[in-house]
Amino acid sequence: MDKKNNKGTTLDDLANMVARGFDDIEKRMVTKDEFNSLRGEFHSLSKKVDKLDYQVDEVYDILKRFEENDILNLQKRVQILEKAVRALATSQSK
């Protein structure tokens, strides 16, 4: 069965091209085991990202509390300094 068409392609040539195409597709396809393995890795990465997200939230909350405490402390210190400056200004103007 070696019939040729106008372009010189035989049925055997065509069959070989189709077979190579299927081989290429088969090589690129992911097997069920590979898919399950990838799914497991994805799930593991997802859990790690969730854990990191939680830890980042915790760090943010801690920093926020420190900032709030630092701001309150600085406000108190400024008020004390303002009172001291007023007292000095009043005592020197007399």
54-72 confidence digits (pLDDT tens): 999 999 999 888 888 888 8
The C-alpha atoms of residue 13 and residue 73 are separated, in whole angstroms, by 85
- Model confidence over 17-50: pLDDT tens digits? 998 988 888 777 777 888 888 899 999 999 999 9
| Of 1-5, 51-55, 68-72, the least confident | 1-5
Asked if 41 and 33 touch (Cβ cutoff 8 Å), the reply is no
Distance CA 61, CA 64 (A): 5
3-state secondary structure the chain: CCCECCCCCEHHHHHHHHHHHHHHHHHHCCCHHHHHHHHHHHHHHHHHHHHHHHHHHHHHHHHHHHHHHHHHHHHHHHHHHHHHHHHHHHHHHC
Give per-residue burial for 16-27: e unless 16+ CB within 10 Å, then b: eeeeeeeeeeee
pTM for the whole thing? 0.45
pLDDT at 36: 86
